[in-house]
Amino acid sequence: MSSFAAKASHRSWIEVDLHALVRNARAVSAQSRVPIMPMVKADAYGLGVGPVVGALESLDPWGYGVATVAEGEELRAARIHRPILVVAPVEATAKSFGAVRAARLIPALGDSRSIRMWMMTGGGDWHLGIDTGMSRAGVRFDEVGALAEELKACPPAGAFTHFHSSEYDDGSMDVQTQRFRDAVAAMPAEPELLHAENSGAIARTSPSPWSFVRPGVFLYGVGSGAALVPEQVVHVHAQVAELRDLKPGDTVSYGATWTAQRPTRLATLSVGYADGYRRSLGNKGVVRVGASRAPIVGTVTMDLTMVDVTGIPCEVGDIATLIGGDGPGAISVDEVGAACGLSPYEVLTGLRARAARVYV
């Protein structure tokens, strides 16, 4: 990562390793043995959808998954011609559906009113969302029969469900899978495309029994345990802006939540919560300085974060690693999330703030 010393003009920055991203996507393909539909919603989980999709195109994915019409339009503007599925509900109005159609997006529909409106406004490819236990969107697995008329009049090209606990070995995936199978069997005709698996489910199932898989967070380097371990994709770095020596009794940052018990060498890093580095990491997180790990002391502020570097070689201008890094001391997104009580998804999507992004 030393080449990034060249980026010294940035106070902090997010390095996105697109090679690692592509290797993670290859690992997903090898595991599932079906095409992939990378989930690139929320600006590719905060990593930047343009470069992410640019890298994933080389893998010839089935298509891409987004959450909003605007995200789909952005992909079309970037000259992506593959199928794009909007997995979250789209407002069932002529205007919204017009926008969906204009961008050749595929909506996920799951209730009579939406399907009828889709039909009335011109129809086209759509997928039936089936709720098998998330209670978030789509038709309930045991109420698909009530949509028979709509499904006959306007058959969907696909049907899908979403697992609520794919990262836990609690048997719930089997329950949801059976509900999905029953729901599909209750449709007047089986759609050509069936899909269910997110990252956690992909790691548990090989080969996939469905038409394609929907990996998200795994591509971006998050996922632990299970058969599939992703490579780190995101590395966050910040410069050491100042160094100071504290005397016992000196306090650090807002609220004086940390007090030096002994003479302490303190480094101030040019990163804060406005860069997406969570405030709740105060007194909980660690960063890497050289080969050592230095604990965050005091509250993370908007622009600056203080770490205890007592006994650690450290100069002004040195680069600390907040997330990522190489070798055994690397800091995973999961670890950062665990330190501050956030899911790794929130840590990643939170990085969209001020910090510059650098693509490898």
Ligand X SMILES: *Cc1c(COP(=O)(O)O)cnc(C)c1O
Query: Which residues sit at the interface with ligand X, rule CB under 6 A?
Result: 39, 41, 87, 162, 198-200, 214-218
| Angle, vertex CA 252, rays to CA 248 and CA 258, nearest 5 | 70
Going by their DSSP bridges, the two strands 84-86 and 64-66 should be labelled as parallel
- The nearer residue to ligand X, 214 or 278, going by C-beta atoms, is 214
Contacts of 217 (CB under 8 A, 6+ apart): 45, 198, 199, 223, 344, 345, 348
Give dist(CA 112, CA 321) in Å, integer. Answer: 51
Give dist(CA 276, CA 181) in Å, integer. Answer: 41
Q: Kindly state the smallest distance separating residue 127's Cβ from ligand X, in Å.
A: 10
User: Minimal CB distance to ligand X: which residue?
Assistant: 216
- The nearer residue to ligand X, 217 or 319, going by C-beta atoms, is 217
Among 41, 45, 64, 220, the one annotated catalytic: 41
- The nearer residue to ligand X, 139 or 217, going by C-beta atoms, is 217
Give dist(CA 230, CA 217) in Å, integer. Answer: 9
- The nearer residue to ligand X, 216 or 324, going by C-beta atoms, is 216
- The nearer residue to ligand X, 7 or 181, going by C-beta atoms, is 181
CA distances from 194 to 12, 121, 181, 247 (A): 43, 25, 10, 64
Q: Kindly state the smallest distance separating residue 193's Cβ from ligand X, in Å.
A: 14
Give dist(CA 280, CA 340) in Å, integer. Answer: 5
Element (H, E) at 84: strand 84-86
Q: Kindly state the smallest distance separating residue 212's Cβ from ligand X, in Å.
A: 11
Q: Kindly state the smallest distance separating residue 199's Cβ from ligand X, in Å.
A: 3
* Contact between residue 2 and residue 235 where contact means Cβ atoms under 8 Å apart: no
Q: Kindly state the smallest distance separating residue 324's Cβ from ligand X, in Å.
A: 18
Q: How many CB atoms lie within 10 A of CB 311?
A: 10
From the list 104, 165, 153, 156, the residue with the least C-alpha distance to 128 is 156
Among 152, 254, 284, 345, the one annotated catalytic: 254
Give dist(CA 171, CA 40) in Å, integer. Answer: 28
- The nearer residue to ligand X, 228 or 260, going by C-beta atoms, is 228
Question: Is 254 labeled as catalytic in the residue annotation?
Answer: yes
Q: Kindly state the smallest distance separating residue 55's Cβ from ligand X, in Å.
A: 17
- The nearer residue to ligand X, 208 or 268, going by C-beta atoms, is 208
CA distances from 349 to 40, 94, 138, 197 (A): 11, 31, 25, 21
Describe the crossing of helices 49-56 and 69-77 by its angle, rounded to 10 degrees.
60
Give dist(CA 353, CA 96) in Å, integer. Answer: 28
Q: Kindly state the smallest distance separating residue 223's Cβ from ligand X, in Å.
A: 8
Query: Could you give the 3-state DSSP secondary structure of residue 311?
Result: coil
**Which amino acids are annotated catalytic?**
41, 254
